[in-house]
Amino acid sequence: MVRHLRKSGSLLFGSLVAAFVLFRFNLGHLERDGSHYVVTEPSEAQAVRSPISAVKLLGKQGRVTAHNSWGQAVGFRYAPGTLYFHACLWSQGKAQDIGTLGGRESRAYGLNDRGEVVGASLTSANRYHAFLWQKGRMQDLSTLGGRWSYAYSINDQGQVVGDSRTADGSFHAFLWQKGRMQDLGTLGGLSSHAYGLNDKGEVVGEADTAEGVSHAFLWQKGRMQDLGTLGGTQSAAYSINNLGQVVGTAADRNSDLNVAFLWQDGKMIALITRLVGKSGWKLWKLWEAWKITDSGQIFGWGELDNSQGPFLLTPVP
C-alpha cells in the first residue's frame, strides 16, 4: 500500500535528511545521459552543511522535515520538560519553538523561501488543524467542514496544500490561498491527499478512484488528472517542480511493490529503468522519490547492497 505522510509517521523526512545521511549509506547519485542514467558515488561536497547542523541541533528527540534555499529548516521536537512535540524553525544556528494553536502539540511539515511555515497543531478543543506560521504568528487554516486538517507544503506564493476531514468524515485534498480553503475533490472515490505544489499552483498527491484504489494525481486549472500507475494497483505523487515534472512512488506490475517514478510529458516511468552503464547499478532498488527541484535533482529513498537510505539523482546536460 502506498504510504501516507501522516498515517505512516515517517513524514518523508525530505531532502534535508537525504542530504544528511548520504554518507552513512553507500548510496550514489544518478547522472542523466540522454534518456538514461548512470550511477556514481557521491562526494562529500554534495552534502548540504546546514541540514547537518539542524539535525544535530534537534537531536534524537526531534525530526527535520523540510528546508529552503536560505538554509532554514523546519520540523518538530519535544517541548522542554514534556512528552509532546512542538513545531520548530531552525535558522542561523538556533532552533525556535513556534508554538501551537492552543493545544499541547504541533508539527511543522513545510517551509518556503520566505520563511513561512505550515503544519498541523492541536487546538484548545484538542483537534488537529492545519496552520500557517508567518511573521511570528500561527494562523489556524480551519477545515473543509470536519474536525481535522493537516498542511504539508507551501510555495513561494503563499499557497498551501494538505488534507482535511469533510463534513461526511472523509479526507479531501485542499488548496488554501487568500484566506480560503478549496476542496480539490477526488478521482471518483472517497478520499484524497495533497502533498506538494509548485509556484504555479499546480498540486500533486494521491486520490481514490471509483474502484477504491489510490492513484497519483496532478491538479491544475481546476481539474484533477489521474497519473496512473506502473502497472500495479496504487501510486502517490509527492513533489512537482516548476517545469511540471512529478515524482513519487507506484506499485509495479510484477510484484505490486513500490518503486520510484518520474512523470513528465504525460508518461510515468520507473526511475530504476533508466540506470545504465557503470558497475553496481543492478544492485540498486529505488522505492520512493520524494522531491524534485527545478534543476531536475531528485531526492528519494532506496536500497543498495541491503543498506536502506536516501538517494540523490542529479541530471547532467
Rounded Cα distance between 5 and 63, Å, is 14
Edge to edge, the sheet with strand 137-140 lists 102-111, 117-123, 128-134, 137-140
Confidence band, pLDDT 50/70/90 cuts, at residue 282:
low
Residue 58 confidence (pLDDT) above 60: no
Residue 39 confidence (pLDDT) above 70: no
pTM of the model: 0.85
**Average pLDDT of the chain to the nearest whole number:** 82
Predicted local confidence at residue 194, as pLDDT: 98
Q: Hey, what CATH topology would domain 5-305 get?
A: Neuraminidase (2.120.10)
SS3 per residue for 74-95: EEEEECCCCCCEEEEEEECCEE
The residue extents of the domains of the chain are: 5-305
Residue 171 confidence (pLDDT) above 50: yes
Sequence-distant (6+) residues with CB within 8 A of 257 are 232, 251, 287
Nearest-CA neighbor of 215 among 241, 248, 245, 253?
Answer: 248
pLDDT digits (tens, 9 = 90+) for 264-276: 999 999 998 876 5
Predicted local confidence at residue 53, as pLDDT: 45
Sequence-distant (6+) residues with CB within 8 A of 221 are none
Residue 249 confidence (pLDDT) above 90: yes
Is 209:200 a contact under the CB 8 Å cutoff?
Answer: no
Confidence band, pLDDT 50/70/90 cuts, at residue 125:
very high
Rounded Cα distance between 196 and 291, Å, is 9
Element spanning 39, H or E:
strand 36-40
What is the percent of the chain where pLDDT is above 90? 58
pLDDT digits (tens, 9 = 90+) for 71-102: 899 999 999 888 999 999 988 878 899 999 99
Higher-pLDDT residue of 96 and 49 is 96
Sequence-distant (6+) residues with CB within 8 A of 269 are 261, 262, 263
